[in-house]
Amino acid sequence: MAAILRDGGRATDTVARYGGEEFVILLPGSDPAAAHIKAERYRQLIEAMPDKPGVTASFGVAVYPQHAADGRELIQAADSALYESKRGGRNRVSLAWRLASADVTDAV
């Protein structure tokens, strides 16, 4: 799975293990739609691994600055989206829905 994540991206993308079974994939310059599409491609590649039948992946996608005002909020937004994927039945991609706190403040 790590090879799929590492080899499936652009030269500017960064893949890092974030926790036990969690990875972070940084996609510089990607908008929410492009990031969602990329995560869905990764999900499909993982699901189709011939040597690991039954292995699936859930993804949470968040984009700066649409979903977060800083790095901490970006991780929180992606984590919330990941748990939405898990609650929704796993093996899916969920996009963060919350606005960055700066956007919320500006809207009031």
Query: What's the pLDDT at 99?
Result: 67
CATH of the domain at 101: 3.30.70.270
Higher pLDDT, 98 or 77: 77
The residue type of 63 is V
Catalytic residue among 21, 47, 73, 84: 21
Query: What's the pLDDT at 104?
Result: 46
User: What digits encode the pLDDT tens for the residues 5-56?
Assistant: 989 999 999 999 998 889 999 999 999 999 999 999 999 999 999 998 999 9
Report the predicted TM-score, pTM, of the whole model to 2 decimal places.
0.86
Residue 71 domain boundaries: 2-107
Catalytic, 47? Answer no
Q: What's the structural domain count of the chain? A: 1
